[in-house]
A = this chain, B = another copy of it.
Amino acid sequence: MTAFVGVTDMVTWIARHGAETIMAEMADTIEADFRRWESFDKSERVANHTPFGVIELMPISDPDLYAFKYVNGHPFNPVRGFQTVTAFGVLADVHNGYPVFLAEMTLLTALRTAATSAMVARTLARPDSQVMAMIGAGSQAEFQALAFRAVLGIRTLRVYDVDEAASAKLVRNLAPRGFEVTVCASASEAAAGADIVTTCTADKAVAQVLTDADVAPGMHINTIGGDCPGKTELDPRILERGPVFVEYTPQTRIEGEIQNVAPDFPVTEFWRVLNGLDDGRTSPEQITIFDSVGFAIEDFSALRHLRASVAGTELSREIDLVAAPEDPKDLFGFTTVPVPVA
């Protein structure tokens, strides 16, 4: 049998442990897996593009465990009552190839994306950072805020979204949780005075939600929404202002902000910073840029974290996804055994 964590189980899990605690612990799991980067068999994600959006499969494995995530991105979904992004994922045993764990990942991806952002900012942002600007107040925004509070202690937010209802929703969700939130009239206004700028918008376009003039010395820029071909958020001149850090270079060249600059534009893979192989931030005045597109290791980490946490609890159900014939060479005989009456 394959363990299954559905949406109801996931909501219960988050309610039981708290999103902040989960993301703080998950940031450590992701960091641990980034540190052993070279032990993974990595591939670019495989994407099917359509006029409406994209559906992607993201596989990854280490010598013992294989993971993949299914994820879609459909920017016009919200106006039709659907989410922009939904996801689910699977862990499998590399030794026999059997899938062992299936989980909803719409919520888990929201947690791991924010945990990754905070994990990277812990190393790259100025240690005295106190104020975060958030450009985009969609599904991911509250998770980012909670992860940055859990990992970096950020409590002051300056928010801008083209949709005023989205900003109002963020205030409604976060003000009662002890954040000081200022809703701003523009991205420039939000960025003014911020130590960290998180851009997380859904428009499938080469946009400039943050301009060069908005960026001040010492900022850490955490750019989340530029994550597929033709979908970027930054004025490309920003990329010249300080070192650009990426997850996995071949994938980010295709999907990240750096798709808008030369193919040999210099970038640093973040796992190298964690392992002391390359510099991170070298001065308080430096501008650091994390060109995040989301990478399969983060899903691997999130799935193994979840699996360990729910193992043996009622949040891990079982489904009969894999046939288990008594004689592994007699699959046909297996189909002819009497079926129990339901």
Contacts and interface: CB of A to CB of B under 8 A. Distances in A.
Interface of A: 4, 6-8, 10-12, 14-15, 19, 41, 43, 46, 48-50, 52-55, 57, 59-61, 63, 66, 68, 70, 72-74, 77-78, 80-84, 86, 88, 90, 92, 94-99, 104, 106-107, 110, 137-143, 163, 165-166, 169, 172-173, 314, 319-325, 327-337, 339-340, 342
Given A46-B43, A322-B104, A11 B334 contact: yes
A111 to B, nearest CB: 9
A88 B322 contact: yes
Contacts of A325: 83
B66 A68 contact: no
B169 A329 contact: yes
Contact of A139 (B83, B173, B331): B331
For this chain, the copies found in one complex come to 2
Contacts of A57: 46, 57, 59, 68
A59 B46 contact: yes
Contacts of A78: 328-329
A329 B139 contact: yes
B330 A107 contact: no
B329 A106 contact: no
Nearest to A88: B321
A86 to B, nearest CB: 5
Contacts of A77: 96-97, 328
Given A72-B98, A107-B331, 10 more contacts: A11-B334, A41-B50, A48-B61, A55-B94, A81-B328, A86-B98, A86-B99, A88-B322, A163-B329, A169-B329
A321 B99 contact: no
7 contacts: A6-B319, A6-B320, A6-B321, A15-B335, A88-B322, A141-B332, A173-B330
A169 B329 CA distance: 9
Contacts of A137: 329
A325 B330 CA distance: 44
Max chain B C-beta neighbours (<10 A), residue from A73, A106, A141, A330: A330
A260 B316 CA distance: 46
A19 B335 contact: yes
A51 to B, nearest CB: 9
Contacts of A11: 334-335, 337, 339
